[in-house]
Amino acid sequence: MSQSFIVSALVFIIVMVIFHIVKDIIIRGRNITPDMRSKLNNRWLISMAIGLIILYLMYGCMDDTGICNKGEPSIGVQCIELYQPVRAPDGTIYSNSCLAEIDGWDNGCIILVDG
C-alpha cells in the first residue's frame, strides 16, 4: 500500500471518530436507546467501510514504483554555475537541478533543499 493511502485512511478514521462522537453524544444527547445506538453504530461502520473502500480505490491501487527511478546520465550537457541545492530520491545532494538531471533524475523527483 502506498504511503498516501495510509495517511489518508488514518485522517479519515480520525475525522469519522470525531464526527461520531460529536453527532451521537453531544448533539443527540446521552438519552439514546440501546436499539437506536445499535442502528447508529451499524450506519457508522457501514459509512466507515465505504469511505475506506473509496480511499483504497483512489490511493491504494496507484502504483508508486518506478516513478522516480534514476535514468541514464546525460552526456555533453552543460549547466550554469548556480548554487541552489536539490536532493534526489536516493539522498544525493546536487548543487542545482541541472546537475541532478544530468545524472539521470527527472526534474519532478528532485526536491529543493533549504539553505
The mean pLDDT of 26-43, rounded to a whole number, is 77
Supply the pLDDT for residue 32: 73
Same domain membership, residue 52 and residue 8: yes
Same domain membership, residue 80 and residue 47: no
Residue 23 has pLDDT above 80, yes or no: no
Banded pLDDT at 93 (limits 50, 70, 90): very high
Same domain membership, residue 73 and residue 26: no
Supply the pLDDT for residue 3: 75
Banded pLDDT at 115 (limits 50, 70, 90): low
Same domain membership, residue 48 and residue 9: yes
Residue 65 has pLDDT above 70, yes or no: no
Cα angle value 108/114/93 (rounded, 5°):
60
Same domain membership, residue 74 and residue 50: no
Distance of CA 60 to the CA centre of its chain: 10
Same domain membership, residue 35 and residue 18: yes
Alpha carbon distance 54, 71 (integer Å)? 34
Domain count, the chain: 2
Same domain membership, residue 54 and residue 93: no
Q: What residue type is 35 in one-letter code?
A: D
CB atoms within 10 A of CB 102: 17
What grid cell was written down for 15?
A: 475525522
Supply the pLDDT for residue 85: 93
The mean pLDDT of 97-107, rounded to a whole number, is 90
Same domain membership, residue 42 and residue 15: yes
Same domain membership, residue 94 and residue 49: no
Q: What residue type is 103 in one-letter code?
A: D
Residue with cell 457501514: 46
Supply the pLDDT for residue 70: 86
Task: Count the residues in the chain.
Answer: 115
Same domain membership, residue 30 and residue 11: yes
Select from 13, 37, 60 the last residue of a domain.
60
What grid cell was written down for 26?
A: 453531544
Range of the domain at 18: 3-60
Residue 112 main-chain phi, psi, to 5 deg = -70, 130
Same domain membership, residue 79 and residue 109: yes
Indicate the average pLDDT of the chain. 83
